[in-house]
Amino acid sequence: MTTTGGRTLLAVPNVSEGRDRGAIDAIARAFDAGLLDVHTDPDHHRSVFTLAGSPGRLAASVVAGAAEALERIDLNRHDGIHPRVGAVDVAPIVYLTELDRGAACAEALVLGDRLGHELGVPVFLYGALRDGRTRAELRRGGPRRLAERIAGGELRPDFGPARLHPTAGATLVAARPPLVAFNVELEPPATLEDAKRIATRIRESGSEGLPGVRAIGLWLDHEGVAQVSTNVEDHHRAPLAAVVAAIARHAEPRRAELVGLAPSAAFDGFPPELPVVNLRLLENEVAVKKTSAEK
């Protein structure tokens, strides 16, 4: 991993493949040497890749991995429980300091342009790059509904063709600070309906809403348990300990899972008795990659 003036950006492409190990490994190799982490889930049928790179170079790594994903994924045959509209569903560029926000925005726009024009995938911007538009707004109704909205003139891609790719759908691109993808499994006999009810209450718009928290309730067939799956957009306003406490008011947490990497501050005050699967901290992984690159 090379950096420009010591500056590092991250990319976190979410790919709609969580079961075919050969495909996941091939996509990981295509993302190149900046790969920090791969998180795979067969129920979600999704893999989250975390890459580090310098401004001006990171977009190329994402495009290389996306090209491999397009060769291996047909969204028409996808049956995972996680909402999605694309084979490469989202591909945000992440800035670690406010000083790098501008560089991240520029890199995200380059990425969107290249995905659209080189791979023929329509790209929709979200977040600060598109007036605060959310992923949920674009994913609502899935690929079929998104195609209808494009055809009807309600939506127009920011980059690429004005139609979905026949097997890869669309890709959502943003520039943002670190987001924590954090899931909590519920102890039986909690049901899918329990998980959905809890998610409705604790998400930002809910009756017990936590600021900047997105939440959905899911059922994991492989584990035979219900799960509250969250995205925590600001871990300073809603630390993970607060997310666990909010869930625990309604059902007993069985264990937690970190998807990708998280800043260490997100775990301030976290209950030590609750096990966390895939607990890997962002600062540690970036430091290790920088050290290995300097050798």
pLDDT band, very low/low/confident/very high, at 126 (cuts 50, 70, 90): very high
pLDDT at 2: 46
pLDDT at 1 over 60: no
Q: Are 91 and 188 in contact (CB under 8 A)?
A: no
pLDDT at 32: 82
197 contact partners, CB below 8 Å, separation of at least 6: 217, 250
pLDDT band, very low/low/confident/very high, at 295 (cuts 50, 70, 90): low
Q: Which of 44, 78, 82, 235 is catalytic?
A: 82
Between the two ends of the chain, the Cα-to-Cα distance in Å is: 11
pLDDT at 294: 63
At 256-280, the pLDDT tens digits run 999 999 999 999 999 999 999 999 9
pLDDT at 195 over 60: yes
Q: Are 227 and 217 in contact (CB under 8 A)?
A: yes
pLDDT at 212 over 80: yes
| DSSP notation for 129-196 | GGTTB-HHHHHTTHHHHHHHHHHTTS---SBS-SS-BTTTB-EEE-EES--EEEEEEEPTT--HHHHH
As given in the structure block, the two tokens for residue 140 are 């609502």
pLDDT at 198: 98
Q: Cα–Cα distance between 94 and 84 in angstroms, integer?
A: 20
Classify 282 as helix, strand or coil: helix
Give the predicted TM-score (pTM) of the model: 0.94
To the query of whether residue 82 is one of the catalytic residues in this protein, the response is: yes
Q: Cα–Cα distance between 56 and 3 in angstroms, integer?
A: 9
Q: Are 135 and 141 in contact (CB under 8 A)?
A: no
What mean pLDDT comes out for the span 39-46? 97
pLDDT at 112 over 60: yes
pLDDT band, very low/low/confident/very high, at 3 (cuts 50, 70, 90): very low
Phi, psi of 93 (to 5 degrees): -100, 130
pLDDT band, very low/low/confident/very high, at 293 (cuts 50, 70, 90): low
